[in-house]
Chains A and B, each alone.
Chain A
Amino acid sequence: MRPFVYTQPQNPQAAVSAAAANKQARYLGGGTNLIDLMKEDVERPTELIEVADLSFNDIKSNGAGGYTLGAMASNADTANHPDIRKNYPLLSMAMLSAATAQIRNMATNGGNLLQRTRCPYFFETSMPCNKREPGTGCGARKGMNAQHAIFGWNDQCVAVNPSDMCVALAAIGATVQVQQAGGKTRTIDFADFHRLPGDQPEKDNTLQPNELITAIELPKPIFADHYYYLKIRERSSYAFALISVAAGLQMEGGSIAKAGLAMGGVAHKPWKLTEAEAFLSGKKPTQENFEQAAELAMRPARTLPDNEYKIEMGKKAIIRALTQAYEKNA
């Protein structure tokens, strides 16, 4: 590892100022992603800034019917919090499917939103990778891409966002609270938080330089009764999703009032299935409707040479997740 300094500012504002003063500084969450990438020489910060403000660890009701998840609260504490389990079981289920108990104990909510892709070319500094080193080319596009995107990619980058938590957040809807330099704050809609590669594959999200995530705001819970997070992976735990689907259904008088549907492992950002959601709204929870929703969702998919399997797997995963979501407490 390269030498770096470690600082612990006492509040968010001090942290943002410290970051503004050093272009090579990074915020430190649980370090489960950042430290790994430092060991790989992919990230080379000269300073790690860890906010020592305990209010960042809170998980509490926000007074508007929703909940606030502190950026520094651990993934484990968040997923296991009794209120989150009760009101946002879809989020809990997704978060608990991720990584291992040890990693979830360390990982923070802010860090989870910003974890980098697992694309192997990104991790290996001797390989070409536009995300790591803009302009070097996309190794995966011409190489191994079985684990890569089927939506929203271009020749610049075909990577996928690896987070499970973010897939559930995309289905549920949320906003991200950030602190800027000079004491200003900003709210970003979750759908706009992550981005597609476009011509800046090095940018995973729409955060401005030095912006610090302080919290994630969850809306009033509507998927507490009918939800399912389906994660298809190579082994029963401790593996990233090949494909995942977060499905939440709000039922009213035997029909779907509102559907929340998002996919993981398919795009540069958590992939919200907006068309399928709209289609399901007002429909009966039948197998045919679920199948049609899946067809609609997969229509824009474009496969890469190695990931053709994701089409069939994706369809089946959507249908299964919707079926399970409906049958849960049906």
Chain B
Amino acid sequence: MDTSIGTGNPIDRVEGHLKVTGMAKYSSEFPVDKMLYAQAINSTIAKGEISSIDISEAKKQKGVVEIITYKNAEKLKTPDKKLPPLSTTSIQPVLQSPQVHYYGEYVGLVVAETFEQAQYAARLVKIKYKKETPKIDFKNHRADAYKPEEESDYSRGDVEAGLAEADQKLEATYNTPIEHHHPMELHAVIASWENGKVKAYASQQMINDAAVTISNTFQIPKEDVRVIAPFVGGGFGSKLHAKQHVILAIMAAKKTGRPVQLTVTRHQMFTNTNLRQHNEQKVSIGAAKDGSLTALAHEIVSHTSTYEEYQEPCGTVSKMLYKVPNNKVTHRLVPVNLQTPFAMRAPGEATGSFALESAMDEMAWKLKMDPIEFRIKNDTQTDPSNDKPFSSRLLVECLRIGADKFGWDKRKMEPAKNTNGNWLVGYGVSGASRAAPYQETSSKVILTLKDGTVLATIQMDATDIGTGSYTIIAQTASEYLDIPVGQVVVQLADSLFPVTPGSGGSWGAASYCNGARMACQNAIKELKQKLNVGDEKKMSVKELMTGNKLTTYEAQGTAKPSEAFKEHSVYSFGANFAEVWVDKDTGMFRIKRMLNVGACGKILNPKTAFGQIIGGLTMGAGMVIAEQTRVEPNFGNFITRSFADYHVPVNLDMANVEVVFLPEEDKIANEMGVKGIGELGITSVAASIANAIFNATGKRMRDLPITPEKLIMAGVEPGVA
């Protein structure tokens, strides 16, 4: 039993033993009676219409119970406009028409007694298509670019004037490729109908939003939908909303009258769980001789699907990170025959910061200024995008302390001057910011007194997607009830529990913990009131329970952002440092060291926090090393089909990683002073590595990933471009 009390201790995960012993149940693992297995069928064209479906062979196979296509699918709610914005609660109709919008779209479902039978029969369903020429690469269809309805453009001051008065100007275009979220746990669901109500064990990041999607898609009351996901093996944004496979399983369960399990295959993780789109980002910067920015424009062109709209806010960081009077951000989208993109870890920041923080490095080199001093020169304590003060902002401290720890003074300003045998050695830096949102969150605490010991159970529909929610919520309850962590049980991720915003957008830790805090504080307050003792009187929970002659007591609490929160800009800040060695002949490079310094509020548990940052750094490094989904230009299918060819970093790619958290007290952010870290760690990592590659080689690499092929073609030899 964990006898520590409160937050701030680097305790092990409270659910750790369940995971390592295989006792933690993930969505597809629940024992459900009479369960059937479903296998979804994917289209093999990117655009067109189904002309015929032959299920005769498949239907004959042993174990096959049902085959669903658009011809016999239940009618679902469909969108009432052409390109509805995709959100975490959007309806997800599926199999509603013979139209095909992208390669791999679901066109059918086979339900059978066993997984193998379903898989086999799915291959025997013969579908013929009337093909049309798809639009695949948005760069070939720029004429179709449009301005999305949602806040896509922003401006302050006059960028043209700002550029005109600049002593140094830079205009550069950066590309980030299509990426996929690829959490380790495949998307999965077990759906059933009981007494007209839906029950779904579904691997989701946001329980309540998933229930909304299901209820709206089937047009049934939300109260009739229960979503359960006690353990989720990662999401990175791909599990924010209930996707079509969830709808398919629920539809199949209704049709067959039996529970249905559907697991999305790794291959389908490419085609059916959304993606991070290819962004083309043009950045224009003007700066005066002394390094002060005079103008910054960030223009983004990207793609969405032909049936939904998603816009990644890549300009977020450019609006607020530096003091610049003239600023402009624009977004344009081209609809293409690929599935709809959706939020992937640090949507906007991860990709936008690559462009911005690379451009800042380019400008620093033009000005012959140290890139750290250049950033510090343009620091601001007021958010220039809305004139609100930052609740706290330690960007300068992150940069300075990081420089000191990293040995930045050993960096040679002039590129390609630091060599070691066949290696060209470079140092790079970047600044990072990520909003620290906080949302209304409810929670329940159930106190029991047994054999003289108080046990507390916390319930909320929060999720733990591998991040450590269970642990930090237990630590929070332990702190506010003043009992050891081992006497707290945390129950999460069930629609029957009080509503939280779920895991996403880096708001989980702050929201969940403050929600749990409120429930605990209310419990104590209520128990004191019952005893007619004042708030200030110190009494243990045990004394309160015995005093009230209670063996069990329940309380609820809801936390929400304060007025002060709304009057401030609340962000986490950080700085990344990278030392990279580039092989002068092969174009291969090694990230030798990385350092991340973060100022992100109260650290609830240094161990889980560290995990979040190194995960972010690894994913950020992946953006540079090789992570990339390749699309066949004629057929529109992804030719990266598995982890054998979708390259994420391996251990050997990640050298020494050091993480430093600066102490920060920010009570404006929320009462506990907790800020988000889940996405800070990935933000601008790619830029720090690309900047180090420039420092090593003199070659500015503006298109991710930076593969050996690209470095060879850039002609990596000592010499300055």
Contact = CB atoms under 8 A, between A and B. Distances in A.
Contacts of B45: 126
Contact of B586 (A123, A139, A235, A316): A316
B653 A236 contact: yes
A41 B123 contact: yes
B626 interface: yes
B633 A144 contact: yes
A220 interface: no
Nearest to B124: A2
A242 B710 CA distance: 12
A160 to B, nearest CB: 14
Nearest to B622: A235
Nearest to A234: B626
A118 interface: yes
A283 B707 CA distance: 35
A65 interface: no
A144 B136 CA distance: 14
Contacts of B639: 120-121, 124, 144
B23 interface: no
Nearest to A311: B712
A313 B632 contact: no
B645 interface: yes
Contact of B645 (A118, A142, A237): A118
Given A1-B116, A127-B637, A317 B632 contact: no
A234 B625 contact: yes
Given A118-B645, A144-B630, A316 B44 contact: no
A143 interface: yes
A312 B123 contact: no
Contact of B634 (A41, A142, A238, A308): A142
Nearest to B422: A320
B708 A233 contact: yes
Given A234-B625, A317-B586, A320-B586, A126 B712 contact: no
Interface string B513-532: 00000000000000000000
A79 to B, nearest CB: 17
Interface in A223-250: 230, 232-239, 242
A159 interface: no
Contacts, number: 93
A272 to B, nearest CB: 21
B632 A235 contact: no
Contact of A127 (B120, B625, B635): B635
B708 A313 contact: yes
A238 B650 CA distance: 8
A309 B123 CA distance: 39
A63 interface: no
A312 B713 CA distance: 8
A123 B640 CA distance: 10
A237 B643 CA distance: 13
Q: Is the interface of A mostly helix, strand, loop or mixed?
A: loop
B631 to A, nearest CB: 9
Interface residues of B, number: 37
Contact of B709 (A3, A123, A124, A242): A242
A237 B652 contact: yes
B645 A120 contact: yes
Contact of A234 (B116, B641, B708): B708
A123 B641 contact: yes
A52 interface: no
How many interface residues does chain A have, given as a range?
20 to 34
A163 B669 CA distance: 55
Given A127-B637, A236-B650, A237-B652, A313 B587 contact: yes
A143 B633 contact: yes
Contacts of B422: 320
A146 interface: yes
A319 interface: yes
B119 interface: yes
Contacts of B647: 234-235, 239
A232 B632 contact: no
* Residue from A1, A139, A233, A234 whose CB has the most chain B CB atoms within 10 Å: A234
A204 B217 CA distance: 51
A58 B641 CA distance: 36
Interface string B677-721: 000000000000000000000000000010111001100000000
A117 to B, nearest CB: 12
Interface string A117-153: 0101101101100000000000100111010000000
Contacts of B119: 1
B222 interface: no
Nearest to A242: B708
A12 B111 CA distance: 42
A3 B117 CA distance: 10
A235 B626 contact: yes
B587 A233 contact: no
A124 B637 contact: yes
Contacts of B57: none
Contacts of A142: 634
B76 interface: no
A313 B120 contact: no
A2 B120 contact: yes
Nearest to B709: A309
Contact of A230 (B120, B586, B641, B705): B586
Nearest to A312: B712
B585 interface: yes
B590 interface: yes
6 contacts: A120-B639, A123-B641, A144-B639, A234-B647, A235-B653, A320-B422
Given A237-B652, A313-B709, A316-B712, 12 more contacts: A2-B123, A41-B123, A120-B630, A120-B645, A139-B635, A143-B633, A235-B647, A235-B650, A238-B650, A239-B647, A242-B709, A313-B712
Interface of A: 1-3, 41, 118, 120-121, 123-124, 126-127, 139, 142-144, 146, 230, 232-239, 242, 308-309, 312-313, 316-317, 319-320
